[in-house]
Chains A and B, each alone.
Chain A
Amino acid sequence: DTEVTQTPKHLVMGMTNKKSLKCEQHMGHRAMYWYKQKAKKPPELMFVYSYEKLSINESVPSRFSPECPNSSLLNLHLHALQPEDSALYLCASSPSAPGNTIYFGEGSWLTVV
């Protein structure tokens, strides 16, 4: 069982809504990630936080806003999304150093209507 917990499992939102995806890990990992995965495609990196600081932003549109309140929590705030943003959003974590093994949560299925 994954030790990275994501909520909600499923989310349907309108294009004018504001919602958030939440992620929590208790493995003491110091790097946390958001990935986006479309059907039949590999995961695409969106953001990386290292020691609670934003380390990588893969040129993600500003309608996606990450937040890392502490070393165990990671949020993704969603606003004014488009239908093409519908996807599986995966949170992941890894120990502190780059190149360490990344462990994924179960994901949040997002549908934008």
Chain B
Amino acid sequence: QKEVEQNSGPLSVPEGAIASLNCTYSDRGSQSFFWYRQYSGKSPELIMFIYSNGDKEDGRFTAQLNKASQYVSLLIRDSQPSDSATYLCAVAMDSSYKLIFGSGTRLLVRP
């Protein structure tokens, strides 16, 4: 059973702080890793993708991948109330079109 685990939260951080969202996965064959943001009542929006070990930065967002430990994380610097949403971690293998989603972490950024 391929699984992706996330803490459901809510993760509450003050405005301006760093929010750290974590995700672990069970299948060592996983190759592609994605973070989606989903506002209540809206569809998932791609935030970051990462394929290689290490860090990948895009603006206030940094994705971190550690394949040996089977975890991927998302850091949000200078968190804003508009970042309040559910963040979905998703994992894929190069041999499959199927994305395995975690259950999502709800982030709340307090003004």
Contact = CB atoms under 8 A, between A and B. Distances in A.
A43 B93 contact: no
**Chain B interface secondary structure, helix, strand, loop or mixed?**
loop
A69 interface: no
B104 A50 contact: no
Given A48-B98, A50-B97, A56-B98, A103 B42 contact: no
A53 to B, nearest CB: 12
Interface string B69-92: 000000000000000000010101
A98 B96 contact: yes
A38 B88 CA distance: 14
B43 interface: yes
Interface in B4-34: 31-32, 34
A99 B92 contact: yes
B103 A42 contact: yes
B43 A42 contact: no
A45 B49 CA distance: 19
Interface string A78-104: 000000000010100010011111111
Contacts of A94: 97
Given A41-B103, A42-B103, A99-B32, A106 B96 contact: no
Interface in B29-69: 31-32, 34, 36, 42-46, 49
B93 to A, nearest CB: 6
A42 B94 contact: no
A51 B44 CA distance: 24
Contacts of A106: 42-43
25 contacts: A2-B43, A2-B45, A33-B97, A41-B103, A42-B103, A45-B99, A48-B97, A56-B97, A94-B97, A98-B93, A98-B94, A98-B95, A98-B96, A99-B94, A99-B95, A100-B32, A101-B34, A102-B34, A102-B46, A102-B90, A102-B99, A104-B46, A105-B43, A106-B42, A106-B43
Interface of A: 2, 31, 33, 41-43, 45, 48, 50, 55-56, 88, 90, 94, 97-107
